[in-house]
Amino acid sequence: MDFAFTPEQQAFREMLKDFIKRECPPDLDRKLDDEARYPFELVPKVVETGLLGLVFPEEYGGTGGGVMEFVIAAEETAYGSAAVGAKREWLPRIAKGEIRSCFGLTEPNAGSDAVHIETRAVKDGSSYVINGQKTMISGVDVATHMMLATNTSPGGEYSGMTIFMVPMDTPGISYRRLGKIGSEIIGVFEVFLDDVTVDESMVMGGPEMANQGWLQLMKQLDLERIMISAQFTGMARRATDEAIAYAKQRKQFGKAIADYQMIQAILADMTIGAQTCQLITYYAAWLKATGQDCNVAASQAKVYTTETARKVCIDGMQVMGGYGYLREFDMQRLVRDSLLGAIGGGTNQIQRLIIAKNL
């Protein structure tokens, strides 16, 4: 196998690095985190990079990127900035930043057991009437649309999920923000749906995809887990570089702390973890990009990178000592943000069950 990136992919990575350095300085991340504010001012600039249309074909306004470009984008944006982290007629609008979507799947009684969601969509002529509740949904307040998973079968089994693209200004939708300890730039919300009426044309993929939501969901899970792996790889790399830079300039007892073997051992372990995160992520992405079965590899990557990134970030805080705990430095934010990895995108316990079932 060859993990070498093409010249075009390398140029894409460098473009992202330059963009983040120019438009997303660390002070902006800290300010947005303190204010728990979404950076609307960055949207037009991000559109210019082509990031929002990365996974869409050029004929729909996208840039036609593949899996590896997707991984590069997820890794570099997670490394560089927390601020930058459909139907055919919607794709050009998404690519232009005109549509911002959130994904409404998790419910009070359905998380890992996603197939048994209770939010009901009842057919009424050419429309559906939706009632239910979602929770822990990211980005609701800044979204123009919600990709809403609903139960359209009395049995609530695999053949009974339908996903709708619902405008957030549709009557009957209300929400409230939930408090959390990390990733403050994107809020998490409870969403309440009270007789929300949508036309059947709002079914993702068209009316013919009614009751096919579970299959649609399954097709995207491997890519989602690879994307999460790339994000936490970027986070581990960032924490490692921050810790190394600090250790070189921080002096105690007359010399830089990087000269002490105990600090060197921590830094060495951090670099091992960060590099292994890259390799396991790139391997899963390579399988996906070449059309091979990547189900187990994606779950393995998700488990390893999220748990390793958490340890690397905590080790980075230990290297920085009290400074790593202060809000004016990035390490404390990396530690807080790293805690979500083992929970979001399918808990790591579920990932281990997926791996075990394939042994």
Question: Rounded mean pLDDT of 203-215?
Answer: 85
Each residue's pLDDT tens digit, 147-182: 999 998 765 566 688 999 999 999 999 999 998 888
Share of the chain above pLDDT 90, in %: 52
Task: Give how far Cα 36 sits from Cα of 102, 133, 274, Å.
Answer: 17, 24, 28
The whole-model pTM stands at 0.82
Share of the chain above pLDDT 70, in %: 88
Residues 263 and 247 sit within 8 Å (Cβ to Cβ)? yes
Each residue's pLDDT tens digit, 128-150: 999 999 999 988 998 899 999 99
Question: Rounded mean pLDDT of 61-78?
Answer: 78
Which pLDDT belongs to residue 88?
A: 44
Checking if the pLDDT of 271 tops 60, the result is yes
- Choose which CATH entry (1.10.540.10, 1.10.730.10, 1.20.120.1200, 1.20.1050.90) describes domain 7-95: 1.10.540.10
Checking if the pLDDT of 92 tops 60, the result is no
Which pLDDT belongs to residue 158?
A: 62
Which pLDDT belongs to residue 82?
A: 65
Cα(257)–Cα(249) distance, integer angstroms: 8
Checking if the pLDDT of 101 tops 90, the result is no
Helices (H) and strands (E) in the chain, counts: 10, 9
**For the CA atoms of 181, 250, 312, 72, what is the dihedral angle to 10 degrees?**
90
* Record: fold of 215-357: Butyryl-CoA Dehydrogenase, subunit A; domain 3 (1.20.140)
Q: Categorise residue 282: left if φ over 0, alpha if ψ from -120 to 50, beta otherwise.
A: alpha
Which pLDDT belongs to residue 112?
A: 77
Checking if the pLDDT of 44 tops 70, the result is yes
Q: Average pLDDT over the chain, rounded to whole? A: 87
Helix (H) / strand (E) containing 72? helix 67-80
4-8, 236-240, 263-267, 316-320 — which is least confidently predicted? 4-8
Which pLDDT belongs to residue 310?
A: 97
13-17, 97-101, 307-311 — which is least confidently predicted? 97-101
In this prediction, residue 302 has a pLDDT band, given cuts at 50, 70 and 90, of very high
Checking if the pLDDT of 8 tops 90, the result is no
Checking if the pLDDT of 316 tops 90, the result is yes
Q: List all residues 6 or more positions away from 172 whose beta carbon is below 8 Å from its beta carbon.
A: 130, 193, 194, 195, 196, 197
In this prediction, residue 96 has a pLDDT band, given cuts at 50, 70 and 90, of low
Checking if the pLDDT of 3 tops 90, the result is no
Q: In the CATH scheme, what is the code of domain 101-211? A: 2.40.110.10
For residue 42, which of 63, 25, 57 has the smallest C-alpha distance?
25
- Higher-pLDDT residue of 171 and 78 is 171
Query: 116 burial class (0-12, 13-18, 19+ CB within 10 angstroms)?
Result: middle
Listed in order, the ranges of the chain carrying CATH 2.40.110.10 are: 101-211
Cα(220)–Cα(240) distance, integer angstroms: 30
* Amino acid letter for position 49: T
Question: Rounded mean pLDDT of 279-305?
Answer: 94
Checking if the pLDDT of 268 tops 60, the result is yes
Which pLDDT belongs to residue 89?
A: 47
- Residue-wise DSSP of 269-317: HHHHHHHHHHHHHHHHHHHHHTT---HHHHHHHHHHHHHHHHHHHHHHH
Each residue's pLDDT tens digit, 326-343: 988 999 999 999 999 999
In this prediction, residue 5 has a pLDDT band, given cuts at 50, 70 and 90, of confident
Listed in order, the ranges of the chain carrying CATH 1.10.540.10 are: 7-95
Checking if the pLDDT of 64 tops 80, the result is no
Checking if the pLDDT of 53 tops 70, the result is no
Give me the helix-helix angle, 295-320 and 348-357, nearest 10°. 140
